[in-house]
Structure 1
Amino acid sequence: MSDYDEATAFLGDWGPFQLTIFFLLSASTIPNGFNGMSVMFLAATPEHRCLVPDSANLSQAWRNVSIPLEERDGQRLQSRCWRYRLDILSNYSARGLIPGVHVNVSDIQKEKCRDGWHYARDLYHSTVVTQWDIVCDNDWKGPLTTSLFFAGVLTGSFISGQLSDSFGRKKILFATMAVQTGFSIIQVFSTSWEMFAILFLIVGMGQISNYVAAFILGSEILGKSARIIFSTLGICIFFAIGYMILPLFAYFIRDWRTLLMALTLPGLLCIPLWWFIPESPQWLISQGRIEEAEAIIRRAAKQNKVSAPAVIFKAAELDENKQRQSRRHTILDLLKTHNIRVITILTIMFWLIVSIGYFGVSLNTPNLHGDPFLNCFLLAVIEVPSYIIAWQLLGHVPRRYAMCGTMLLGGIVLLLIQLVPQSLNILSTILVMVGKFGITAAFSMAYVYTAELYPTVIRNMGVGIGSMSSRVGSVISPYFVYLGAYNRILPYILMGSLTVTMGLLVLFFPETFGRALPETMDQTQNIKCLCCKKKSPKKFQETLEELKNGSILITTKL
């Protein structure tokens, strides 16, 4: 809203008021870093094997061979889901037979884990998986737990914008904080996996709604230069701070209920922010509450120690601005013309794939070799330079090349992991970090680039359809991680291939760097396809008329 920016220019860009809003709203996203990735530790799957009860009356020799061996990641390891039939082993043990001498153990019949499982306790004392035995035949519940959280994120992204438009940015920000914190506390006392999963879905709805409300509120309150830094660095880096603190909590707290409570309680610290963060003046103006909007701006001027004009917002100018924006567009406009239709398809593909790569790499941390707490911390730390590099690329490098370069960097590095010997665990971790660096940089630039591709009249819908595709990708990503439990490198091969492919397809997008934003549908740039440019129906008709009038000479070269 250019009139608003002009009317509030007297406040300056970086006074005490703007700094307060910048840091408080950014800090409010730290719990999002907790909740967004906490499932890695809450629902981690430790090493496990079938429980052999003491009542089986087996000699130590037969107890040692009661679990069959199976091939996993090139190694012979104890089976997670099968054991030899205990009644047969007990019979052999009672008869004094020796395994491997009198009996070929591999010929004995197998059975599933009828008495539960024995879980390794070296990393986790308890998780959601060990609490309700979400392994073997029930292991599908693991990725579904994560997918339900992201399904809540998808649902919340649909409703958060409408709610904040209807009830105000500030009210929805704090209401969704309450949902995220309150339902997480209830989740601590879950009595079944079903209860935990349903509550996790609701927490996901609050998590994204809180994040979006903070993003919108900051973008509308802050001035133009502060708004750019807030949108690209502020909330992103504070999210990464929450992400970095997560493995520290998880390292010292190995019980899932205690860990979840510890991650939830900091959300209560956001309650005092209600008295420091104002409502969005732009939203108040859109609701006709100009006096309230002026009161907020005058308090900001007093805080910045500048003088406010007698009349800040002129009603006539505001009415004129509303009339210019009165024409409504629908989601069908995203498919109206050939160029916009192709841009929309490519946008959906890009957001889907970059989201799968980002969340897939992040959630696959437990499947990496080495300490999962250290690996998670390193993957969180790498996001900070990634956001800073993305910010610099947006200011100096053409968009297509910046996006293509970061996607190819992330994808190629992930593909190289399969070539690293298992003995070089540190090299594998470094490659994953570099891959995460590239994908995160591309992800952080996606909002800006998508907004520049679409004309003003459908820009919000264009960004919205991209964001929705991102949520779908996050719902799918846990199943890539699920494959990692069976083959360590398969998730990286799939994510790397998709990321490289999308990195090349980005080159077909129009270039927006240094160009004015399109205002109307007709100003949308042409797609850089290898095929012939599609002529508009109007141009085609003009060509036919020229042919009829003989104004075009057609020559054929034999």
Structure 2
Amino acid sequence: MVFAELLDKAGGAGLFQVLQVLTLILPSILMPSQMLLENFVAATPDHRCWAHMLDNGSEAPANLTPEALLRVSIPLGPSHRPHPCRRFRQPQWQLLDSNTTATNWSKAATEPCVDGWVYDRSTFTSTIVAEWELVCDNQGLKALAQSIFMAGILVGSMAWGLLSHRRFGRKLMLTWCMLQVALAGTSTVSAPNFLVYCGLRFLSAVGMAGIIMASAVLAVEWTVSRQRAVTMTTLGCSYSAGQMTLGGLAFALRDWRDLQLTVSTPFFAFFLISWWLPESACWLMVMGKPDQALQELKKVARINGHREAEKTLTVEVLMSSMEEEMASAKAHRSVFNLFRVPELRWRACSLFLVKFFGRRMTLASFQTLAGLCILANMLVPQDMQTLRVVFAVLGKGCFGIILNCMIIYKPELFPTSLRMTTDGFLQSAGRLGAVIGPLIRMTCQAVPLLPPILYGTAPIVASLIILLFLPETQGLPLPDTIEDLKNQRSAAARANRQKVVIKENTYF
């Protein structure tokens, strides 16, 4: 943890940190737009079968209104609207009789939409659902596209976590992933078919996983302990701002290609801007690259106006200051240390279950409150919509706080040499949860209470795991090695014993 002292000399909370956060905020605002994009580009508009007499002007009788032609051409669906997936084989002229009920039709008199569909384009002028007709028998393909995208984030989290461990570091991964998102995202609008579209979205998701991981780790490793919470909270709030931004963009841009280009093209600019960012100096040190680490530290010191640090910081100073950390990191670089070392094993396994939860008492409290909100909604009658919305919004707010705290807490639990690898593992765990969530919801048809019970009790159980197995890290410098983690535990134990002695002396 000596690196925290070196960072302090170079300016751990100065102009560089402000510029770095501003640079990382820009892509962070558009990240939710990429993740939630299919809520709009894959929206399913109202639709019905294309009918010859109704949609071919040359075959339509001149004495009938469009409403009458619709009545004899398309049967009514379950919601008493034109059926989205069936049409009459022959015009049902008897339905024009006012005494005939429009619902009196047999399935034998109908057929599927063999000539395609007609879509309501009043809300969205174009979506991928209308583009490739992902409706009726093909409506499952829409969910497939979302699953492929989430699979891309899962694969990206695992792959980038392992690749950054020794080979690529933080900066190179960040810049490459921004370029990948830009290329894959803009190429999507030219996709000739649905399969190519899904492939490009998969590549975009892989790149997004790298941006999420690298931006958070870079920010936390270049910030001193006293400013870390503010920095990471700022980045966390940018995600919420991005969700609001997407809503505004989708309101203004009703064509899916226009929306896709708008949220993807800026990543070319982010790719160019990100080149000024320095690589993590602490990662360079533990990887045995002191010369490069020194260059980055001097660059930060120069931007922060610490001219004296440029003279005092030398390779010899860095080597002597972090000699033990470098030796320890070299001996413990294996990814399997995540499960071999007790301190890491407990933290990784606990976070596997509480992927979106953060620091100790604060996170445990909001986690419990979120679970109680979900369980409380089970007891509220369906007709009391206002109260149900109150509980839903309160629970959503709790999870928002938890996510922001997790961004701060997660990097503080693991050493520099394994921080990105761990983040990739945990990101994968989170995406696995996103895959399981819809499967749990499917059980509501057989056991209606099972999904809310699971969703409500899981956060409460997770809060107990936080309190039992995860340490408090507030105010502590980032651990550089596994030995630092052990020292943290020893220091915490000594502090607890000292508190006990003080209380006993006070009592007597």
Coarse TM-score class (shorter-chain normalised)? 0.7 to 0.9
Q: Is the 8 A contact 2:338 2:422 kept in 1?
A: no
Query: Residues 467 and 407 (structure 1 numbering): CA distance in 2 closer, same or farther, change over 3 Å?
Result: farther
Q: 1:97 to 1:505 in 2, by over 3 A?
A: closer
Partner of 2:171: 170
* Aligned residue number for residue 82 of structure 1: 86
Q: Deviations over 1:370-390 (max 9, x none)?
A: xxxxxxxxxxxxxxxxxxxx9
1:443 to 367, 378, 403: 403
Aligned equivalent of 2:46: 47
Q: Give the number of the structure with larger relative contact order, counting CA–CA contacts within 8 Å between residues 6 or more apart.
A: 2
1:327 to 332, 353, 357: 332
SS of equivalent to 2:105: helix
Structure 1 residues 456, 30: closer, same or farther in 2, change over 3 A?
closer
The within-5 A match list for 1:395-410 is: 397=361, 399-409=363-373
- Separation in 1 of the partners of 2:212 and 2:123? 31
Calculate percent identity across the aligned residue pairs: 23
Per-residue CA deviations over 1:300-336 (Å, capped at 9, x if unaligned) read 2232222215235431342321223313566486489
Cα distance in structure 1, aligned partners of 2:122 and 2:380: 27
Equivalent residue number for residue 130 of structure 1: 130
Unaligned runs of 5+ in 1: 355-389, 525-558
Quick one: which amino acid aligns to residue 181 of structure 1?
Answer: A
1:169/1:280 contact within 8 Å kept? yes
Q: Of 307, 316, 320, which aligns to 1:316?
A: 320
Contact 1:62 1:99 survives alignment (8 Å): no
2:497 maps to what in 1?
none
Residue deviations 1:143-175 (CA, integer Å, cap 9, x gap): 111111111111110121233341232221111
The answer for the alignment partner of 1:184 in structure 2 is 185
Residue 452 of structure 2 is aligned to residue 496 of structure 1: yes
Letter paired with 2:38: V
Looking at structure 2, the residues matched to 139 and 105 of structure 1 have their Cα atoms a distance apart, in angstroms, of 27
Query: Which residue of structure 1 lines up, in the alignment, with residue 494 of structure 2?
Result: none
Aligned amino acid, residue 174 of structure 1: T
> Residue in 2 aligned with 1:22?
21
Partner of 1:215: 216
Is the contact made by 1:407 and 1:438 (CA closer than 8 Å) also made in structure 2?
no
TM-score in terms of structure 2 length: 0.78
Q: Tell me if the contact between 1:70 and 1:76 (Cα under 8 Å) persists in the aligned partners.
A: yes
Q: Describe the SS at the equivalent of 2:303.
A: helix
User: Is the contact made by 1:417 and 1:431 (CA closer than 8 Å) also made in structure 2?
Assistant: no
Deviation of the 1:189 alpha carbon: 0.6
CA contact (8 A) 1:22 1:218 kept: yes
- Code of the residue aligned with 1:505 in structure 2: it is V
Relative distance call for 1:496 and 1:463 in structure 2 (3 A) is farther
**Counterpart amino acid of residue 220 in structure 2:** S
CA offsets 1:479-517 (integer angstroms, 9 cap, x no match): 679x79xx9x99997653332110231254244565899
Corresponding letter in the other structure for 1:408: L
* More off after superposition, 511-520 vs 156-165: 511-520
Distance 1:492 1:448 in 2: 36
Aligned to 1:549: none
Query: For residues 20-79 of structure 1, what are the alpha-carbon distances to aligned partners after superposition, in whole Å with 9 as ceiling and x for unaligned?
Result: 1122122232221221111111111112222223257676546315433444xxx54443
How far residue 10 of structure 1 moved from its aligned partner, in angstroms, is 1.9
**TM-score scaled by structure 1?**
0.72
Report Cα offsets for 1:275-306 as digits up to 9, x if no partner. 53222222332343323322332232232222
Q: Corresponding residue for 2:293? A: 293
Per the alignment, do residues 35 and 480 of structure 1 end up closer, same or farther by CA in structure 2, a change over 3 Å counting? farther
Contact 1:413 1:432 in 2 (8 A): no
Contact 2:84–2:136, Cα closer than 8 Å, also in 1 = yes
- Residue 142 of structure 1 and its aligned partner are, at CA, apart by 0.6
* Secondary structure in 2 matching 1:29: helix
User: How large is the Cα RMSD of the aligned pairs?
Assistant: 4.0
Please list, as runs of the form range in 1=range in 2, the aligned pairs for 1:218-257 lying within 5 A after superposition: 218-231=219-232, 233-257=233-257
1:505 has 2:461 as partner: yes
Distance in 1, Cα, partners of 2:176 & 2:216: 15
Q: What amino acid maps onto 2:176 in structure 1?
A: A
Unaligned runs of 5+ in 2: 477-483, 491-508
Number of aligned residue pairs: give it. Answer: 465
Mapped contact 1:456–1:520 kept (Cα < 8 A): no
**What SS is found at the alignment partner of 1:28?**
helix
Checking the alignment, whether the CA contact within 8 Å between 2:11 and 2:300 is kept in structure 1 is: no
Q: Which shows bigger deviation, 7-16 or 34-43?
A: 7-16
For residues 330-379 of structure 1, what are the alpha-carbon distances to aligned partners after superposition, in whole Å with 9 as ceiling and x for unaligned?
A: 64864898x9988866644444xx6xxxxxxxxxxxxxxxxxxxxxxxxx
* Partner amino acid, structure 2, of 1:43: A
2:75 maps to what in 1?
68
Tell which deviates more after alignment, 255-264 or 450-459.
Answer: 450-459
CA distance in 2, matches of 1:490, 1:222: 51
1:528 equivalent in structure 2 = none
